[in-house]
Amino acid sequence: MTSEQPEGAQQPTASLDTTIWAEVDRALSGITVTPEAGVLDLIVTIPRDEVVRGLRALKTDAALHFDYLRCLTAVDQEADGIDVVYHLYSTTSKHNLTVKTNLPNDDLFVDTATTVWRAANWLERETAEMFGVRFRGHPDPRTLLMPEDMDDTFPLRKDHPLAEIEILQGEGMGYTEEDSE
Amino acid sequence: MASEMLPDEEYEVQDLLLNVGPQHPSTHGVFRMVMTVDGELVKDVVPYIGYLHRGAEKLCETMDYRQGIGFMDRTEYLAGHNAELSYVMAVEKLAGLEVPERAQWIRMILCELNRLSSHFMFMGAFGIDVGVFGTPFIYAWREREAIIDLFEEISGDRMMYAYFRPGGLAWDVPTNFVQRVKEVLVSSKTGIKDFDGLLTDNEIFRARTQGIGYISAEDAIDYGMSGPSLRGSGVPMDVRKDEPYLYYDQIKFEVPVGKNGDVFDRYICRLEEMRQSVSIIEQCLEHLQPGPIMPERMPRMLRTPPGEVYVRTEAPRGEYGVYLVSKGGNRPYRLKVRSACLSNLQPLKQMSVGQYVADAIIVLGSIDIVLSEVDR
């Protein structure tokens, strides 16, 4: 097994036993995987070079059969780059799985998952325009919700200004910086 | 078709680009699609969305957990209770809050009532799409009005309820709640019967809807469809059944599925679902006992430990998911709303190509989109 245990993982490894980690580990043999027991579902982190290969393995695995892409989105981790998050579901085995991959800030791209599920098409378009993540090999890389010419600013990134509303909120609710800590 | 009747060398045949929307009654909101038509036949459909994008996800990141509730109503305005439910459940899971029993039962009743009102809205609007102008719409609004009046008595608002709270409910329901729900159920049952009689066995309605807008079970799953639009293709996927939340595991109900994956099956799934919702509410009323509606010890400012959770619930249009990432503190670090309609809308091209233009409108209607949820 090539999977490695993360150093200083938040959850104790024992709690992984109650999840489907053993099966996922078997399906993803040969791929670097970092598991973590989430609040509801198992979370696995895969390096971006291998993530689409891993997703396809999870879909084609006979026992797990993750044939349904619930959600695809990204989380801006500021200095730590951007996480792309896939929420998978199996209509046959009723399992849930969260797959994450981290992209460094200076090189935001990942292979497209549209080759695995067609559901990824619009979700990737939305993630691309909101976070500036490039999905390599996407069949239709147009904007989805944003205007066509709005390709230089990414609204859901943490550095995108929403200052006026935050000031308004802070004054209206009597918040200080300590409150938001 | 013109190309078959006339020799090509004498007459040049050209496809026509037909723009529908964004302001058009049959697009159910601000939705635009550009159809390539060959005579009356649709050859290609390119949907354009985003006209209603307000950045609800970004706004929620700037507000504390209780302020975010109102934005959930505004994403899914025809089923506000269901939308709020996913959000407050996500916060509860992260914060580790235990919700009192009475609050859970009331939530269930309100969510199912909201499903009824939302499906009534679909019946009325769909009737107009098909061409039964007037009657079903007025029937639908009569029954929906009764439900919305009840919601107004409870929450003070007809559509933007903001009634659920992380931990429970904003306040208890009025004392005549059970009596009022029973009254509403009587009128809803009448409404369901009316629609059954008016549309289901109507020969013209069947001719317009059967065999139109087909999508196979495999394709529907691959496109991430959910709700009645997916179950119409024969996939018995329902979050209430597969991963029971609230007290759905204590209630007897069935998940209606279609066989043919066409417009008619999506309609009949919704109609059958309404009967199931009535039955669920009746069972919930038997379980409803007096008690607290909020946990005893609630902090004045709700904070969550760092973590992330993806909570999904079965809203009238399908799976309404909330992905909540917290880095500690009193507001979400990232909030993503998984819109059922966005995923249901993706296969529109596949379902419409090869149909007549008038049928493409019915296909769009059968998905029952709320553009406010698609764009967020």
Residue B5 domain flag: no
Tell me how many domains chain B contains.
Answer: 1
Residue B175's contacts (CB-CB under 8 Å, 6 or more residues apart) are none
Q: What is the DSSP string of B221-288?
A: HHTT--THHHHTTT----HHHHS--TTGGGS-------SS-SHHHHHHHHHHHHHHHHHHHHHHHHH-
d(CA B144, CA B137): 10
Which helix (H) or strand (E) segment is B175 a member of?
none
pLDDT of B4 reads 60
Q: Indicate yes or no: CB of A119 within 8 angstroms of CB of B55.
A: no
Q: What is the pLDDT of residues A92-109, one digit of tens each?
A: 888 889 999 999 988 888
- Do B72 and B57 touch, CB atoms closer than 8 A? no
Which of B95, B27, B24, B96 lies closest to B64, judged by CA?
Answer: B95
Q: The CATH number of the domain where B313 resides is what? A: 1.10.645.10
- Closest CB to B49 among A96, A145, A165: A145
Judge whether residue A177 has pLDDT over 70. no
Touching check for B157 and chain A: CB below 8 Å?
Answer: no
Which one is predicted more confidently, A38 or B141? B141
| Nearest CB neighbour to A122, from listed B242, B307, B342 | B342
Domain that holds residue B147: 54-344
Q: What is the pLDDT of residue A171?
A: 56
pLDDT of residue B310: 92
Task: Say if CB B345 and CB B28 are below 8 A apart.
Answer: no
Residue B20 domain-assigned?
Answer: no
Asked whether residue B137 is domain-assigned, the answer is: yes
pLDDT exceeds 80 at position A81: yes
pLDDT at residue B272 in the model: 92
Subunit contact B323:A71, Cβ cutoff 8 A: yes
Is B60 touching A (CB cutoff 8 A)? no
Subunit contact B307:A39, Cβ cutoff 8 A = yes
Residue of A nearest to B226 (CA): A70
- Tell me how many residue pairs between chain A and chain B have CB atoms under 8 A apart: 104
Residues in chain A closer than 8 A to B220 (CB atoms): none
Phi, psi of A172 (to 5 degrees): -60, -40
Cα distances from B233 to residues A151, B225, B267, in angstroms, run 38, 10, 11
B323/A73 Cβ within 8 A: yes
pLDDT of residue A6 exceeding 60: no
Q: B21 to each of A36, B34, B122, B176, B342, how far by Cα in Å? A: 46, 9, 19, 45, 17
Interchain pair A180, B301: CB under 8 A: no
Q: List the single best residue of A10, A15, A36, A40 to mutate versus B (max B Cβ within 10 A).
A: A40
Candidates A41, A87, A119; nearest CB to B223: A119
Q: Which residues of B touch A122 (CB under 8 A)?
A: 342-343, 345-346
Contact check, Cβ <8 Å, B221/A68:
yes
How many helices (DSSP H) and strands (DSSP E) are in chain B? 16, 10
Under-50 pLDDT residues of chain B: none
- Whether A10 shows a pLDDT value over 50: the answer reads no
Distance (Å) from the alpha carbon of B209 to chain A's nearest alpha carbon: 25
**What's the pLDDT tens digit per position in A40-57?**
888 899 998 888 888 888
Q: How far away is chain A from the Cα of B206, in angstroms, using its nearest Cα?
A: 30
- Measured between alpha carbons, how far is B228 from B341 in angstroms, rounded to an integer? 11
Question: Out of A28-32, A156-160, A172-176, which region has the weakest mean confidence (pLDDT)?
Answer: A172-176
Over residues A64-74, mean pLDDT: 90
Best CATH choice for the domain A13-180 from the list 3.80.10.10, 3.30.460.80, 3.40.30.10, 1.10.1840.10: 3.30.460.80
How far apart are the C-alpha atoms of B227 and B230, rounded to whole Å? 6
Residue contact A75–B334, C-beta within 8 A: yes
Contact (CB<8Å) B310/A43 = no
CB contact under 8 A, B330 and A98: no
pTM (two decimals): 0.86
Measure Cα distances from B23 to B33, B323, B345, B365, B373 in Å.
11, 32, 18, 15, 17
The pLDDT tens digits for A113-167 are 899 999 999 999 999 988 989 898 889 888 888 888 877 788 888 887 775 555 5
Please give the ipTM for the structure prediction: 0.84
B157 assigned to some structural domain: yes
- Distance, in angstroms, between A7 CA and closest chain B CA? 17
Q: Residue A48 corresponds to which tokens in the numbers above?
A: 């971006």
Q: Within an 8 Å CB–CB cutoff, is residue B223 touching chain A? A: yes
Contact between B50 and A144 using a beta-carbon 8 Å cutoff: yes
